Amino acid sequence: MNNEQPKRKFKDHIEQIVNIKDKDYYKSLTSEERKSFSPWLIIKYLSHCYELVPILGEYLPKMNDLTPEQTYKVLIGIIPKGDYTFKVINSKKKKGVVYSKDMIELLSKEYECSTQTSREYIEILYDIGEYQKTREFLFKKYGKKL
């Protein structure tokens, strides 16, 4: 019998921030799970909830230099516990998602994460309409041709 806890992913981080709010959650993440905790991507995702935009807008300028752990603690402190609707997010809908080898490689490099986590990021970027902009940014940053 395997007592190993399933690997926590991006959507688990969001659930912790908006509902569970365990102050020790970030410390409990493995080094691999911490790589899937991208403050930039989490804030982008959260900003697709109209109720959270004013809160994020107020605090975001003050969060630029925070570590991922500090970002997590700020987010669980400022976001009220609740059931939120995030526009355009549908985890079952993967139609039209392109898993470009180059994009997986660049995301893995940028966020120091596994290819599986990079694939999850690609799905999220598609869902929130940020895939093309992020792709162009990363290709330019790492000197790859589009």
| Residue 82 burial class via C-beta count within 10 angstroms: exposed 0-12, middle 13-18, buried 19 and up | exposed
Q: Are residues 70 and 112 in the same domain?
A: no
Alpha carbon distance 95, 40 (integer Å):
25
Q: Is there a single domain that holds both residue 107 and residue 66?
A: no
Average pLDDT (115-143) is: 89
At 146, the pLDDT band (50, 70, 90 cuts) reads confident
The string of pLDDT tens digits covering residues 66-87 is 999 999 999 999 999 999 988 7
Q: Give me the mean pLDDT over the 46-50 stretch.
A: 89
Task: Please report whether residue 62 resides in a domain.
Answer: yes
Residue 83 lies in a domain: no
Other CB atoms within 10 Å distance of the CB of residue 104: 18
- What are the tens digits of pLDDT across the range 2-35? 556 678 888 899 999 999 999 999 999 998 898 8
- Residue 65 counted as domain residue: yes
With a CB cutoff of 8 Å and minimum separation 6, the contacts of 7 are 30, 32, 33
Please report the pLDDT score of residue 1 as a whole number: 45
Mean of the per-residue pLDDT values of the chain:
87
Top pLDDT among 108 and 3 is at 108
Tell me how many domains the chain contains.
2
Residue 20 and residue 64 in one domain: yes
Residues 14 and 58 reside in one and the same domain: yes
Residue with tokens 């691999």, as numbered in its chain: 32
Per the structure, the complete domain to which residue 111 belongs is given by 101-141
The alpha-carbon radius of gyration of the chain (Å, integer) is: 16
Q: Does residue 74 form part of some domain?
A: yes
Q: What is the mean pLDDT of residues 50-65?
A: 90
pTM above 0.85, yes or no: no
Contact partners, residue 27, CB within 8 Å, separation at least 6:
69
